[in-house]
């Protein structure tokens, strides 16, 4: 029987040695990286809500269960800024001293996020 995915976990800090993180099972390492990325990204923006619209069904069956991530409610109107922001927060001081370019349809907004991070 596997570990309960809802059970609380102890996070291994990102500055912990690679060996400490490598000793964790893959699912724990991936979950930790997701949690750390969320922590890094949401210092610069707000999460967008999930909503469950009521989908039509038939006379005998209910409609399908569908969840929608409401990116249209964010100032950027796109999810792409999260990946760029996460990558930029992990730049070394030397990399930050040079330039960073994010190429996407939301480029102007990502540029605004980069300026918040003091990336030229």
Domain boundaries, the chain: 12-41, 75-120
Q: Which is more confident, 112 or 27?
A: 27
**For residue 19, pLDDT beyond 70:** no
Residue 117 · residue 95 · CB < 8 Å:
no
**For residue 108, pLDDT beyond 70:** no
DSSP H helices in 9-106: 18-22, 26-41, 80-89, 93-97
Contacts of 36 (CB under 8 A, 6+ apart): 11, 14
- Dist. CA 22–CA 112, nearest whole Å: 35
- Predicted local distance difference test score (pLDDT) of residue 75: 76
Give 33-63 pLDDT, tens digit per residue: 999 998 998 888 888 899 999 999 999 999 9
Mean residue pLDDT of the chain comes to 74
**For residue 95, pLDDT beyond 60:** yes
- Predicted local distance difference test score (pLDDT) of residue 18: 45
**For residue 1, pLDDT beyond 50:** no
What secondary structure does DSSP assign to 3-15, as a single string? --TTS--PPPPTT
Residue 78 · residue 106 · CB < 8 Å:
yes
């Amino acid at each position: 029987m596997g570990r309960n995915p809802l059970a609380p976990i102890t996070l291994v800090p990102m500055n912990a040695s690679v060996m400490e993180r490598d000793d964790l099972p893959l699912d724990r390492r991936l979950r930790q990286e997701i949690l750390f990325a969320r922590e890094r990204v949401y210092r610069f923006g707000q999460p967008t809500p999930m909503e469950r619209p009521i989908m039509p069904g038939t006379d005998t069956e209910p409609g399908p269960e569908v969840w929608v991530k409401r990116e249209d409610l964010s100032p950027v109107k796109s999810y792409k800024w999260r990946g760029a922001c996460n990558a930029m927060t992990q730049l070394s001081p030397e990399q930050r001293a040079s330039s960073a370019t994010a190429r996407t349809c939301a480029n102007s907004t990502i540029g605004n996020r980069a300026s918040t991070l003091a990336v030229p």
